[in-house]
Structure 1
Amino acid sequence: MIETIVLDIGETITRDDRYWASWADWLDVPRHTLSALVGAVVARGHDNADALRLARPGIDVGAEYHAREAAGRGEHLDETDLYPDVRPALAALRRLGARVVVAGNQTRRAGELLRGLDLPADLVVTSGEWGVAKPDPEFFRRVLDVADAAPSATLYVGDHPANDVFPAKAAGLRTAHIRRGPWGHLWADDAEVVGAADWRIGSLADLAEILEE
């Protein structure tokens, strides 16, 4: 029986459109160029920050992040960045009695912005706040600490096989792979993903049915 559902952030509950568009504008490269580079690194299984390094060789991503913040062009999240199924799906899960946690690889600032949206979740936390990021096993130990449920009663939902499905499964959690965003679509039918994921879903609305099972 699933008692707690933990959701990844990027391309699970939020769209990355604004994120990559803002980086393209900051680096002064066409948005479609950076988007194509993101697709290329995804297909290679590389870190998505490699797209920025391809767009500007030698870039110090951390330094540029701080420069953007100082210039007033830093991270931003609002209601339009949420996928449309997020609020109704999370609210439905809570009505069914599940504990709902949002935990993904994001900055401290992203955590603040997400909590400002007042999502129907019991907890919103980021890797930047924990000081450890997926796929590090310590991230999933932290997930279990806040889940307040046994690993077998905790479901982790995400789009990225290497960051979400495989390490969550290795930590003993149940897993759901969502066909959403470039990673979710690219690896949706991959044999390893199919074998590792307890469920494969196309929408967060599918989680209520899983919970009722």
Structure 2
Amino acid sequence: MVTAVVFDVGETLLDDSREWGAWADWIGVSRHTFATVLGAVTAAGRDNAETFQYFRPGFDVSEERQLRENAGLGERIEESDLYPDVRHGLSRLRAQGLWVGIAGNQTVRAAQLLRELDLPVDQIATSGEWGVAKPSAEFFARVAEMAPGGPNETVYVGDHRDNDIVPAKAAGFRTALIRRGPWGYLWADDPVTRSNADWVIDSIGDLQNLLPSR
């Protein structure tokens, strides 16, 4: 029985286009060029933070993020960044009697911004708050503690094969890959994804139809 659903953040609930564009502007390259290199890094199955090294070898993402904040150009998460189905979809899952959480690889600041959106969820946590990040087993152990039914009764939903689906399945969760954002589309039909994902979905609405009401 599924009693809880926990969502990744970037390209699962949030369209990251504006944030990646802001990074391209910050390092002084065209958004098209940045997106193309990011795509190549993604296709190679590497960490997307490696994208910056092609433009600025030795680039420190944490340091540069703080510099952006100091310049008044830091992280923003607004209603317009949510995918269109998010608010209604989360509400519908809760109306079905499911516990709904959010846990992703984001900063402490991002957690604050997500909470300010007042999304219809029971709990929000980020890797920055926990001090552990996906795909580590420690991250998913924290998710297991967060969800009231534990991993056996929880679906973890994400767009990334290696950060979301594979480690969540290894930790005992049910898993759903959502087919959106570059990673979701790239890996939706990948054999590793298909062997580790209980479902591949196109929207949160698909998940509502797959999970019975409690």
TM-score, normalised via structure 2 length: 0.97
Which residue does the alignment assign to 1:80? 80
Flag structure 2 segments of 5+ consecutive residues without an equivalent.
none
Equivalences for residues 1-213 of structure 1 within 5 A: 1-212=1-212
Q: CA deviation at 1:66?
A: 1.0
The one-letter amino acid paired with 1:167 is P
Q: Determine the C-alpha separation between the residues in 2 that align with 1:172 and 1:93.
A: 21
Deviations 1:144-192 (A, max 9, x none): 1010103221000001011000000000000001111111101110111
| Superposition RMSD in Å | 0.9
Larger deviation, residues 82-91 vs 55-64: 55-64
Q: Determine the C-alpha separation between the residues in 2 that align with 1:142 and 1:60.
A: 27
Larger deviation, residues 54-63 vs 111-120: 54-63
The one-letter amino acid paired with 1:79 is E
Deviations 1:14-53 (A, max 9, x none): 0111111100111111011111111010001111111111
The one-letter amino acid paired with 1:43 is A
Q: Determine the C-alpha separation between the residues in 2 that align with 1:150 and 1:111.
A: 22
Moved over 6 A (4+): none
Q: Determine the C-alpha separation between the residues in 2 that align with 1:24 and 1:150.
A: 39
Q: Determine the C-alpha separation between the residues in 2 that align with 1:189 and 1:95.
A: 31
Deviations 1:105-163 (A, max 9, x none): 00001100000000010011100001000000011110010101032210000010110
Flag structure 1 segments of 5+ consecutive residues without an equivalent.
none
Aligned length: 213
The one-letter amino acid paired with 1:184 is G
Q: CA deviation at 1:58?
A: 2.4
Q: Determine the C-alpha separation between the residues in 2 that align with 1:6 and 1:58.
A: 34
TM-score, normalised via structure 1 length: 0.98
